[in-house]
Structure 1
Amino acid sequence: MLKLFFVFTVYIYGTYGFDKNYCEICPNHTLCKYEISGPSSTCIEYDYNALLTENDINAIVDQINRRRNFIALGHSNFLPGAANMKKLIWSRELAKSAQRWVDQCDQVLRPDREDQCRDLEHMNVGQNIATITGPSSSLNVKSFVEIWFMQSLVYNGSVTYYNE
């Protein structure tokens, strides 16, 4: 049976240059720790077709912004509306860091494990990780956004990741 391992990590924020020494941000920064791009030697059956296309990127950002707007306008029964919820944009710098993390294939043993530092020079960066193992032909990138959005249905005000 074919075993598909797909990790989808989204980092979204403003765009910055790539000329930084990430080791100065923190010594265990993903781009400091893993200097070589591409799949590591620990990757088995690396799926080059799982890389995001421009259409995927646009679909992710559009879907996240639609869901954020839904909440901001007060349409959610579970979360309060927001007066100034700005639109998110794709950051190639953060995408590079996310891809480098995924390329280590460390998640095979612990798919929920996060990298230790992915911050940018002047901001802390959060992380969402969605992992699918096994056949997943019916899922697309929008499915992962919907899974994350569904978390808001169980929000009770004490979940740490909503407050970070």
Structure 2
Amino acid sequence: MPRATNAPLRPTGTMMPLVVLCILFFSQYGAVPIIVPYETQSTDNATNRQIIVDVHNRWRGNVTPTAMNMLKMEWNDEAAKKAEIWARTCNQFHNPASQRNITNFSCGQNLFMASYSTTWEAAVTAWFDEIKDFDFGKGPKTFGALIGHYTQGAWYNSRMVGCYEFECPNAEYRYYYVCHYCPAGNIEGKQFTPYKIGPTCGDCPKSCENGVCTNYCPHPINYDNCQELTTKYSCSKYPELQDDCPAHCRCTNNEII
């Protein structure tokens, strides 16, 4: 496609791949087990979906250090369906990122396995408990410590979540929990800074709810150099940028991108 010499180049960056493996076996934790009937945890149940969302948002709104730009999570049916498809395979490892995508967004993934059926609150809490091993901006406090579940769950703009539990009768860890987060977190080169440090809701003082921001940008970030391009060039003057960088071109009223 020809370009005038004074036109900005089409973005050449890409969304960085996920680099942190996020698989957790419940046996690693010494807490007293919470055992519940498997069928009570179905995410076909609206109450369970709300519990998953609420537990995530409670953690997200109370991260340490505090976050200026942490978005409120909401349930996403398409993400949940992709999580279900993978959970039903009983393949207890990460599937290719391309299989997790939903309309307009890439998605991250947290996996949790247990030898007994536990609650969604227990599963999500186990992921977020990795905060104790995480040094913000630096990484794991000790070599080999798992932190990727936490950084994905606390990724500032991963505002959509969908989850599914499946019973895998032939697996050592019979109960398999899968959550997908969109847009994806744990971006290469940024995985140890999942959000912006500062006063709680500092970037959304008029759109803050229990420590999380509600002023999200609904458009995707297609390339990692969109901010640079849209700062240098005008979206209105170069309409191709609106297609390539919709979030940065269309969210201009202090929405969190």
TM-score by length of 2: 0.37
Contact 2:42 2:48 in 1 (8 A): no
Instruction: Give the CA RMSD over aligned residues.
Output: 2.2
Cα 1:68–1:48 change in 2 (3 A) is closer
Give the share of equivalent positions with the same residue, in percent: 28
Opposite residue 116 of structure 1, the aligned amino acid is P
State the match for 1:119 in structure 2. Answer: 101
Distance 2:114 2:56 in 1: 19
Cα 1:119–1:61 change in 2 (3 A) is same
Answer yes or no: is 1:106 the counterpart of 2:87: no
Q: CA deviation at 1:48?
A: 7.7
Paired residue secondary structure (1:128):
strand
Which is higher, the Rg of structure 1 or of structure 2? 2
Distance 2:61 2:132 in 1: 16
CA deviation string 1:76-115 (max 9, x = no partner): 3xxx2111211000100000000010111222xxxxx111
State the match for 1:130 in structure 2. Answer: 112
Which residues of 2 match residues 28-107 of structure 1 at below 5 A? 49=39, 51-52=42-43, 53-71=45-63, 76=64, 80-107=65-92
Paired residue secondary structure (1:124):
coil
Opposite residue 114 of structure 1, the aligned amino acid is H
Opposite residue 155 of structure 1, the aligned amino acid is F
Distance 1:158 1:119 in 2: 27
Distance 2:38 2:70 in 1: 35
State the match for 1:40 in structure 2. Answer: none
Answer yes or no: is 1:143 the counterpart of 2:122: yes
Q: CA deviation at 1:124?
A: 1.9
After TM superposition, what 4+ stretches of structure 1 lie above 4 angstroms from structure 2?
none
Opposite residue 62 of structure 2, the aligned amino acid is F
More RCO (CA 8 Å, sep 6+) = 1
Answer yes or no: is 1:155 the counterpart of 2:134: yes
Q: CA deviation at 1:54?
A: 1.2
TM-score by length of 1: 0.56
**Alignment length (residue pairs):** 103
Distance 2:38 2:62 in 1: 34
